Structure 1
């Protein structure tokens, strides 16, 4: 089992949800995030507020976490890259990490049964 963390542009969320659903992945956690990567110097702005000046270099992002079987990883990565890549800096990242165990709290099921 793997934990897949996908950080994307907000406008890509519906496409990502479609890709996951098409591949039988229905459980996910979605949250708003702010981030900067290679475009860091391109988005730097000075924001003036009542407390003073602030250097802002973060863009809005969406972070999605899901848990998947090992055999789904490569296909999902390939489809996500194919569908969500704009060719521009800031498209996002996919991180896949091994998952030692997972337990469904409601039933106590563990392992792939809990997915």
Structure 2
């Protein structure tokens, strides 16, 4: 079975994570720039409150057995040690199709 790993990371760690995944043999991914907030509900710097913060979401579809390796790579490459380092979500992928051919991907 296939799984989708979604990682939401700090923008400044994006390149580190992408390069680390590629070095471990996972070059295929989709990334998108997103805005959001975690449990801390944004951050306050002086008198200014930032309700939503910029993040990068990386999406990787992979075989079940690769998931622990991918999670480990992302955790190590994205780690700063402060709130807002990000989250990793894993969910099943029940079907996928190749647009060009219409074939169901195996």
Matched, 1:11 2:12: yes
Alignment root-mean-square deviation, CA: 2.2
Q: Does 1:107 align with 2:101?
A: yes
- Is residue 103–residue 109 contact of structure 1 (8 Å, CA) maintained in 2? yes
Structure 1 stretches of at least 4 aligned residues deviating more than 4 Å after TM superposition: 44-47
Which protein shows a greater Rg? 1
How far did residue 103 of structure 1 move?
1.0
- Could you list the runs of 5+ residues in structure 1 that have no partner in the other structure? 48-54
Equivalent residue runs for 1:7-46 within 5 Å: 7-40=8-41, 42-43=43-44
- Contact 1:10–1:61 (Cα < 8 Å) also in 2: yes
- Displacement of 1:84 in angstroms is 1.5
**What SS does the corresponding residue of 2:58 show, helix, strand or coil?**
strand
Retained in 2: the 8 A contact 1:15–1:83? yes
Distance 1:108 1:58, change over 3 A: same
Match of 1:81 in 2: 75
Contact residue 44 and residue 57 of structure 1 kept, 8 A = no
The structure with the greater share of residues assigned to helix is: 1
Q: CA deviation at 1:44?
A: 7.5
The unaligned stretches of length 5 or more in structure 2 are none
Question: 1:100–1:3: structure 2 CA closer, same or farther, 3 Å change rule?
Answer: same
Q: How many residues align?
A: 105
- Find the residue that maps to 1:43 and give its secondary structure: strand
TM-score (norm 2): 0.83
